[in-house]
Structure 1
Amino acid sequence: MTRDVVRPRRRGGASASGFLRLVAHADPVALVGITLSITLSVVLDLTGAASGVESLLAGLMGITISLLVDSLARAERRFHLRMLLDGPPWLAHTATEVAASMREATEQHAGTRVAVEAQRRYEQFRLEAEQFAQGRIIRRGDEDEDLLGATRACVHRLDALTNVMPRASGELSWWRSEIGRRYWEANVEALRRGVRVTRVFVYATLTEELSDLVGRQRAAGARVGLLPFGAVGTHLLVNLTLWDSSSCWEARMTAHGEIGENQFSVNRADVERLTRVFDACASMATFEDPTPTP
């Protein structure tokens, strides 16, 4: 009885795969340089412009230079990556983990909803990171931590502009909501600390409810002004808050007149823009009820 000799199978597929992986990760400049070097060597040999040895040496020299350029490019990228991660410790510790997890999600689960969702969320994170770099935090309309937190941290001055317009949810519904009540409580605490609070209400109709709200805020120590709708351009009708001339909050409104998005910013351009809006409205507002003429 004889045994069949089992010969190891040649792994030509693995070699081809390794070559493709090498090509995929090589620098484009290096690939072009290697291709031109090989082409030059073949042309010199076929045309007889150089001997076989000289043609080979010319090709090897070109390939060597191309690989050297590729090595320098890789080193530059590694140096740039190290510089990017040379920041807060938590960034260096988590950036590689995030990149590895995203790569595994897209490679191990390619073609599934997991890979699609991973790419979508990573793109969303990238957009949010760009806003952070600009000094902005953007949240949903029902998230109030920035508005409350900045009011509680305010030291000297708080300026605000509130538009009170007829809408499906009611003119003063926001002030009656949980967020509105907590925001006013933070205003009262700021007034007790000595913060100067100035607020302008832009209104379409001076209702009894609005007059009562203005009276209560004035009684608490806030400087409150009234500005009738139409006194300023519509581009100035913005719901905003400014703290110590260093940070600001702006509400992005929905079609129903409700806050759909909150934007908190320490960006100097944002603060200056909203300061101009507030100053323009405050200059036209009435801050005290007119005194009757005797």
Structure 2
Amino acid sequence: MPIGSWTGIVMIVAIGVVLAIVAGLMSYLLPDVKSIVSFVAGLQVTMLAVQIEYLVRQNGQTKSIIHQLSLTEAVSRIAWMPRLVKGMAESIEKIEQRFPDSPAMVAARKLIEDSDRGLKQLERGHIVHDYEDISILLDQAPRTRRSIRATSLQEVDLAWWMSPLGKKYWSLLKAAIDRGVHVERIFIYTEWTDALNGLAEDQHASGVHVFKVRKEDIPPDLQIDMIVWDETCAYRAVLTNNSGGHRNSFTLDLGEIQDMIMTYNRVYSLATHLKGDESSCILH
């Protein structure tokens, strides 16, 4: 039992002994039984009040201890969490000591709150990266076992395929094709330029099932740049501002992935094969 608990118990016992002695003395001093009974009753009420106050305080301390234990247990369940949380707490304590009531503390709290919001998104299976961060693309391509469905918006994707990042992802796609993964790509274009045709021909020659559709021939909700790896992860480019900037948005939620597959199939139903051939795709 904690020392504080023993201290509280000793105090109650001591008060009880004192009240008992006082009650005994008063039985000699008071003139009649009625007065004695009244006085003893008052002492009992006082004793009861002391006990209740002690129990209330103990309950508050118990709840605090339970909360701390629960928090420690939750952090300890993830192997790398204790060291990280300890480091964060120590950093914030140092910031508070060195820069109290300053913008640094405001920024520290905002950083933690932003992390909390990000984790809430991850609970839903949502991940958002800067457009230049293709780490998940590079991770998913080698993991894929059956199929990769993709659309490419001309204004989003064309220059990217020619960049070092695009070439790196393309090398992983070719490796996936070599191990039997079915890869489809629908180019959504505004103008079928020589550069776009060359890209489409190269991918077709490497084993990609290539389709194309004019952007103006499909509804606005289908004019998206997206990828679905098997049925485990999906990506789409998200417009971030009016200047045309994009971010990479991923989902691991199975329901959302199925919705994206349905969206892809709608685009597919409006597209034509690059060579005008009948498709033998396994996905449709």
1:243 Cα offset (Å): 0.8
- Is 1:160 the counterpart of 2:146? The answer is no
What SS does structure 1 have at the residue aligned with 2:145?
Answer: coil
- Where does residue 87 of structure 1 map in the other structure? 77
Q: Deviations over 1:67-103 (max 9, x none)?
A: 2321332233123213312322211333233223223
Rounded Cα–Cα distance in structure 2 between residues aligned with 1:273 and 1:83: 37
- The count of residues paired between Structure 1 and Structure 2 equals 239
Rounded Cα–Cα distance in structure 2 between residues aligned with 1:213 and 1:288: 11
Match among 127, 131, 156 for residue 141 of structure 1: 131
Matches within 5 A, 1:46-61: 52-61=42-51
* Runs (5+) with no aligned partner, structure 1: 1-47
What SS does structure 2 have at the residue aligned with 1:172?
Answer: helix
Task: Note closer, same or farther for the CA distance 1:106–1:133 as it changes in structure 2 (3 Å cut).
Answer: farther
1:256 Cα offset (Å): 4.0
Match among 201, 225, 228 for residue 187 of structure 2: 201
More helix by share: 2
- Where does residue 255 of structure 2 map in the other structure? 269
Rounded Cα–Cα distance in structure 2 between residues aligned with 1:227 and 1:102: 54
What SS does structure 2 have at the residue aligned with 1:252?
Answer: strand
Rounded Cα–Cα distance in structure 2 between residues aligned with 1:120 and 1:145: 26
Identity of paired residues, percent? 20
Larger radius of gyration: 2
What SS does structure 1 have at the residue aligned with 2:56?
Answer: helix
Code of the aligned partner of 1:116: V
Rounded Cα–Cα distance in structure 2 between residues aligned with 1:102 and 1:134: 28
Rounded Cα–Cα distance in structure 1 between residues aligned with 2:94 and 2:51: 39
- Where does residue 130 of structure 1 map in the other structure? 120
Match among 38, 60, 66 for residue 76 of structure 1: 66
- Where does residue 191 of structure 1 map in the other structure? 177
Rounded Cα–Cα distance in structure 1 between residues aligned with 2:197 and 2:170: 16
Rounded Cα–Cα distance in structure 2 between residues aligned with 1:108 and 1:66: 38
Code of the aligned partner of 1:162: S
Code of the aligned partner of 2:228: L
Q: Deviations over 1:189-245 (max 9, x none)?
A: 211121110111111222222222211111110001112223332112221111111
Code of the aligned partner of 2:51: M
What SS does structure 2 have at the residue aligned with 1:89?
Answer: coil
- Where does residue 20 of structure 1 map in the other structure? none
Match among 206, 217, 220 for residue 203 of structure 2: 217
- Is 1:282 the counterpart of 2:268? The answer is yes
Instruction: Judge conservation of contact 1:251–1:261 (CA < 8 Å) in 2.
Output: yes
Instruction: Judge conservation of contact 1:106–1:118 (CA < 8 Å) in 2.
Output: no
Rounded Cα–Cα distance in structure 2 between residues aligned with 1:257 and 1:152: 30
1:268 Cα offset (Å): 1.9
Rounded Cα–Cα distance in structure 2 between residues aligned with 1:130 and 1:107: 30
Code of the aligned partner of 2:91: S
Rounded Cα–Cα distance in structure 1 between residues aligned with 2:217 and 2:51: 77
Code of the aligned partner of 2:191: T
Instruction: Judge conservation of contact 1:140–1:262 (CA < 8 Å) in 2.
Output: yes
Task: Note closer, same or farther for the CA distance 1:237–1:65 as it changes in structure 2 (3 Å cut).
Answer: same
What SS does structure 1 have at the residue aligned with 2:234?
Answer: strand
What SS does structure 1 have at the residue aligned with 2:272?
Answer: coil
What SS does structure 2 have at the residue aligned with 1:230?
Answer: helix
- Is 1:228 the counterpart of 2:218? The answer is no
Rounded Cα–Cα distance in structure 2 between residues aligned with 1:241 and 1:270: 13
Rounded Cα–Cα distance in structure 1 between residues aligned with 2:264 and 2:195: 24
1:288 Cα offset (Å): 4.2
Rounded Cα–Cα distance in structure 2 between residues aligned with 1:106 and 1:278: 51
After TM superposition, the score normalised by the length of structure 2 is 0.74
Code of the aligned partner of 1:275: I
Rounded Cα–Cα distance in structure 2 between residues aligned with 1:182 and 1:197: 16
Instruction: Judge conservation of contact 2:231–2:254 (CA < 8 Å) in 1.
Output: no
1:141 Cα offset (Å): 1.3
Instruction: Judge conservation of contact 1:105–1:115 (CA < 8 Å) in 2.
Output: yes
- Where does residue 242 of structure 1 map in the other structure? 228
Rounded Cα–Cα distance in structure 2 between residues aligned with 1:180 and 1:256: 22
Task: Note closer, same or farther for the CA distance 1:256–1:188 as it changes in structure 2 (3 Å cut).
Answer: farther
1:55 Cα offset (Å): 4.2
Task: Note closer, same or farther for the CA distance 1:256–1:148 as it changes in structure 2 (3 Å cut).
Answer: farther
